[in-house]
Amino acid sequence: MDLRAISTGTHGTGARFGGISTQVVGATLVTADAALLTVDETQNADLLPAVALGLGALGILVDVTLQCVPAFVLHAVEHPEPLDDVLANMLSRAAQADHFEFYWFPHTDVALTKTNTRLPESAVRLPLPRVGQWIDEAVLSNGLYRVACGLGAVAPFIVPPISRLAVRLTGDREYTDVSTRVFTQSRTVRFREMEYALPVENVGAAFTEMRALISRRGWKISFPVEVRFAAADDLWLSTAHGRATAYIAVHRYWRENPTEYFEAVERIMLAHDGRPHWGKMHTLDAEALRTRYPRFDDFVALRDRLDPSRMFANHYLERVLGR
């Protein structure tokens, strides 16, 4: 387990499931005074909602205990569907499915949907054929897509037809396999990303405004927009703290400057009560973030207690938590 995934609020999708940090039931960290602090249900339990997603600001995590579940199989259904139909029904689909998400390539009217249903570990498995999987993921999603993004960076006018071709060639398959083979895929095309967490009831309006923005500005965006869902939780700095949440993530190929696109999308997300993902690009500082997290000042006070000299500080933490 990469502890950065816990400390920055990494999540998947599933309206009944929280992010990885919500699975933390115990941790030990070294604090600034070189003491060991154990936090679990019997020791310092009141600190667990802060330590489970601590941004690296409270100390050095030396061990973490996760609440796990028995191994399971996933039935995966991936289909291209009309975008407007998906937008009209996404909240009910997210509520009914174990794991639902979709991708939208700008300049198209198609959503690539992914619906994963949990099955017992003993369920019959119908995995993807090795050759077909290699073509989908290594050849199309990585190899040819990398070439397409590179060409789009120097000749933006080709991005819309390439995006329309991409949604015809990818995202249409059905299979059943162990969860670790369904949840994880190799992605080797480099990109920059910004993701905002929204109250789930605001995701439709925010997406519609973002879609109109891209059209109005005439931007040629080669990377898809991703929409995912998560359950509310009680972690102090969780992007899903206190509210059922939907996530909108935007991306830009690494050789393209994301600033204008990201900042314009960010304004939309903020207007819809968004919270930025801690481990991705955003422009907010402590003053702006304080109003978005009811337990923000509690977290800062705990940081002051555990690291008064700011041994674990860096430029990013100074910006988002204050000095």
- Model confidence at 1: pLDDT above 70: no
Q: What is the pLDDT of residues 62-73, one digit of tens each?
A: 999 999 999 999
Segments making up each domain of the chain, as ranges: 3-69+283-321, 72-276
d(CA 317, CA 55): 8
What pLDDT sits at residue 157? 86
What pLDDT sits at residue 134? 60
Q: Hey, what CATH topology would domain 3-69+283-321 get? A: 3.30.465
| Three-state secondary structure call for residue 31 | coil
Contact 255, 154 (CB under 8 A): no
pTM of the model: 0.94
Q: What is the CATH number of domain 72-276?
A: 3.40.462.10
Q: What is the pLDDT of residues 108-162, one digit of tens each?
A: 999 999 999 999 999 999 998 876 666 567 645 666 677 778 877 888 888 888 7
d(CA 235, CA 239): 9
Q: Considering only residues 128 and 285, tell me which one the structure prediction assigns the higher pLDDT.
A: 285
| Three-state secondary structure call for residue 73 | strand
Q: What is the pLDDT of residues 6-37, one digit of tens each?
A: 999 999 999 999 999 999 999 999 999 999 99
d(CA 1, CA 71): 17
CA-CA-CA-CA torsion sign (47, 317, 193, 151)? negative
Mean pLDDT of 234-239: 98
Check if 3-69+283-321 and 72-276 are the same fold: no
Contact 14, 117 (CB under 8 A): no
State the DSSP code for 172.
-
